Chains A and B, each alone.
Chain A
Amino acid sequence: MPQSKEVLNLAVSMGEELLKNGGEIYRVQETVCRVMEAYDVWDYNVFVVTNGIFATVHEERADAGSMVRYIPLGEINLEKIAKINQLSREICQGHCSLREANKRLKACRQGAGVKDVTLIFACGIESAGFCFLLGGHFIDSVFSFLLGMLLQTFLLMGTKRNVSKFILNILGSAMVTAGSLVLYRLVQDILYDRIIIGGIIVLMPGVALVTGIRDLFNGDYLSGGIRMMDALLTGICIAAGVGAAVKIFQLLGGGALPL
């Protein structure tokens, strides 16, 4: 394989890893460009959108190469972004041979990450925290903690079976709402709305919102638009899940819910 192709492969693979784990468009674009330049490839073109990278090198020479990657929106993993960023810094300074860079990229891809149990526990803590911040009492936070753990377990299971994100959002928020309403029937003396809000905050499209804004204001309108649409749709899905659960609860004879 000619050198230019290897460089292209490395650069686009790094970009792919960044994009898959929730990097912004300008970061991906800049990383790909810098890596190419660091390995002395100057005649290149890169175009990045939220779910794809297109790149060509040396279009007018014999060792021309091009690459297209489709990248579905994935789970946020900031550790990988930080690692790739570090790798690209070192490549820029010329500390890293092509082979070594490939090896490190591979290692970064296979990084172990956080255990599922930790994730579930963190989700519980975070639900409880939000429930408390929104004015819930201690007992509400405890229930929120349990529901948050349940939700994260459900999300992890769903993600492993490749269930669509929208279905997960609808079912997840419906599950939290139903759980909270059942608890409300059983215990009576709880602020069920705070518990629901604490529970569904994990599903909220905060990341899509923030990344979308950054993309939009860097001039990547298409990518920013994709992310903002994602944020909006996710919000609507959550609302639909909550609404459906409340409605079903009412129809089953739960009666009007006091606020």
Chain B
Amino acid sequence: MSVVRLSRRHVTQSLGVVLATFALPSPSVFGQVPANVPFSLRNNRRLEGWIRVEADETVTVFTGKAELGQGILTALAQIAAEELDIGFDKIRMVSADTSRGPDEQYTFGSQSVEQSGGAIRAAGAEARGILLAAAARRFGVRAEELQVRSGTIIAADGRRATFWALAKQSAGLLKGDIALATAPKKPGDYAIVGKSVNRIDLPGKLTGAPSYVQDMRLPGMVFARVVRPPRYGARLLAFDEAAVRALPGVVAVVSDGNFLAVAAGREEQAIGARDVLAASAHWSDDAVELPDMARLRTELKKLRAETIVVGSAGQSEPAPGQAKRVGAEYSRAYLSHAAIGPSCAVAWLRDGRMTVWSHTQGAFPLRGDLAKVLGMPNGEVDVVHVPGAGCYGHNGADDVALDAALVARAVPGAPVKLQWMRDDEFAWAPFGPGMAMKVEAALGSDGKIVDWSYDVWSNSHAMRPGQPGGVNLLAAWDLKTPFVKSPAPHIPQPFGDGDRNAVPSYELPRKEIRNHLLLDAPVRNGSFRTLGAHGNIFAIESFMDELAEAAGSDPLAFRLAHLGDPRAQAVLQAAADKAGWVPGKKGDGQRGRGLAFCRYKSIGMYAAAVVDVEVDRNSGVIRVPRVVMAADLGLVVNPDGAKNQLEGAIVQAVSLTLKEQVAFDRRQITSRDWSAYPVLTFTEVPSIDIVLMQRSDPSLGAGEGSLPPTSAALANAFAHATGRRLRELPMTPERVKAALS
């Protein structure tokens, strides 16, 4: 198979680390050896599947994880350089690619450093051990007597051999399975891991080098656009194909059931043809009845649900009788990913093979669903990850990949670039589901919680492609012979789905937590950063403040009294200290301060937030001047990169707490541009102070966990400032004014 290289290697050479992303490689097969080994090694045992010592004195590192704009490839390169003892600038990263990389399923759940990092750490240690043993044999010395400096092995008498020379001389040296024969370094010996390094992909992105799938240009490429129905459920009755085909540049009009798309030689021609196609299309009046978004909390509970108890304790004892009982209900709106660039893919059908370049979070799972819809064997479809605009979960990336592939099938031999328009993205990408939460608790005479009852209602947040029983791709449901959606998977605690973080980290002698997974899904849902943790922590941490008030206790002291884990107590105390928390201080009607804690997924990073607010009582606008966050991430690979992640999720949390809600009437989504779905802007962004706890425990993931406690602390700050509590998100000026009137 010929290799087309559109790599920007030549332009990025001066930067050292190279991202080899735009390439068409030859297929390879990886061993399938089940074993009791690090998670990502279980199905990918071959050493050269992770690390290849190249003839050009570089090392290629393969990961199944994708760069989602969070700097993961940089952190993984640090881990590889550390274990191999080579210069950081010798590493070349290849990310998720079904044709040549390991299958690590999805890049999600803040697990990449843990999973891929764990595998690369083991592979790097193994490769270094094998190379040291080879050098020891050659020099006739023991491996322990050798040193490694920047990829050169040095004997006590000064003899030297480089990794590259050793690998070249013995072709099979690094081709075996990873035996886990060499232990990785101890954190105390780290020289590269733990240091802030600059992101390897940013120089190109900041100077206009081709970096995104949107920037791909292949020979003979055509541009395509889709025309989606006006609402869920509408069927395509008729359209004027001849009129569209007659437009300048149009090379194909693709229709299959309710799927409609057009391809043209130039991008603006495709966009113009989309407008004509949309205007000529007649759709049935069918609609899916949508909930009343003004009454989401009650509307959600009307939907059919499957109820599971996801946490309980002390239920064999009766509820305490002589206790003070308190209850409250909360909700959050449906949320949009709202990346700055709409989803995009390039698809190319040639010589019977379909290659799709995509900013998907799961190249392998997407490949499987694409193959099903296209009626092709998995082996004839490849998905290569190329970055897109910001990824905060399951956005339109997978859907647009199928859209592009369907158009590519209509123009065989021609690569097709298909980007969604802004309204496609806002109306059709999966949303973070709306959620309703209800808490009741009882306080004993000592002011501690003696009983806890919790319910959460939401649709599944886990509707990605690659799950059994169907296909989770938008266009697949619209074809003349449609595919069914995969049923929602059951994700057990502590990960959870809508019930992620529904089980509090607090020590509660008697508790029952119920997840009501909604089975009817009038609005299309998917995974948005933290899944249900955002709604659950908003409810739990709001309610902890309500309980503290009922107990006459300070919010910080009340939480500390219910936490047994010293790491949890430490982040809370660190955030409070940094912010200058004053116990018992009252809000003044306008200004206030709130606190919240979250251990993400109950097993991930610890985070505590202190948020300050200023409330304009006339306009109802809440301003957030400052957020303080203390976070315990375990071992931090790239401190500045981790801080960047924490900051980003804090800003996003403020944005969705104050502003964000997908809007719809009873028939269709109405928030289809930035004026209808506003996000936080420069003048509204708080100053942020981050305290990173110094730990050498295993890495816990930094991508999401600062979001939920920020949202909850903001709600607590509003209540602290005004004495009124908002229990529905977002906290819009209308709701603020209603609460204060």
* A associates with B: no
